[in-house]
Amino acid sequence: MKINKLNKILLMSVLSAGLFYACSEDDNSSGNDNDGDGDEVGITELSSAFDEFSDAVTVTLSDDGTEIYIETTGYPNHTSIYWNPDDASGLYVDEPLVTKTEPDSYIGGGSGEASSFTVDATPNLTGATVATELNTIGISVSGAAIFNDQEGGGDLDEAAGSLDYNGAHKGPGVYHYHLEPRSISNDDDELVGILLDGVFLYGRRDYPSNDYPTDLDASGGHFGPTPHNPDGEYHYHIINEEYSAPLYGYEEAIVLFAGPFQGY
């Protein structure tokens, strides 16, 4: 297992020490068959999946084709109560069911939203799994950060009332998703984003069957076709299990990704 791959994550945003979002999951062994022990083999072009990422995200393939550099402004391209009501974008929307984490905390205000990280162009699926970590664990197609199912070292229950329609909130750090972001994927097979291990995350349903997959591993992953790779690749799905979050203002809470990572 290439544990040192974790050190390659270059988060450029100042995710301040005051952030209280913890990411944790027990490690499990992985039985994937890809060979990652020798020299890494480069790719010649980026997956068409990256075409779905918003203008907030910039993706670059390294010269040797072995790594992918991903940068984001962190600003989502959909509405939320966490936008500033005075922002010229017009993306602010009132959400009476949501109690903001901090009344004066807005997307783009205070701590910076921008971040960047590097992933292997071909994820290494040969080693042991790796637990998700503190703060950002991936970037969504909207440009906003993906977090796991933990909040402040515990479960998400107490913070559920602050999650907007897209299962996200901000404060005091970056705007980020904990739950299925309905503006991106809502009980379907849409691409949601990419995680720090280089594996793509899709919605709850499988492609092309549109059924819920029945062969997912502990991370919600399996090998099979995707809209961007009909020949098949290892990818994650949002696991179709409702999360009990009594304070959540909307009808259904589906955790976005609890981990562990499989692609290190």
pLDDT over 90 for what percent of the chain?
69
- Dihedral sign, CA of 11, 56, 201, 84? positive
Rounded distance between C-alpha atoms, residue 150 and residue 130, angstroms: 16
Q: What is the CA radius of gyration of the chain?
A: 18
End-to-end CA distance of the chain: 7
For 191-225, letters b (16+ CB in 10 Å) and e give bbbbbbbbbbbbbbbbbeeeeebeeebebbbbebe
Band (51; pLDDT cuts 50, 70, 90): very high
Residue 208 preceded by cis peptide, ω within 30:
yes
**pLDDT at 26 (0 to 100):** 37
Backbone angles phi, psi at 159, to 5 degrees: -95, -5
Band (89; pLDDT cuts 50, 70, 90): confident
pTM: 0.85
Model confidence over 138-195: pLDDT tens digits?
999 999 999 999 987 678 888 999 999 999 999 768 999 999 999 999 999 999 999 9
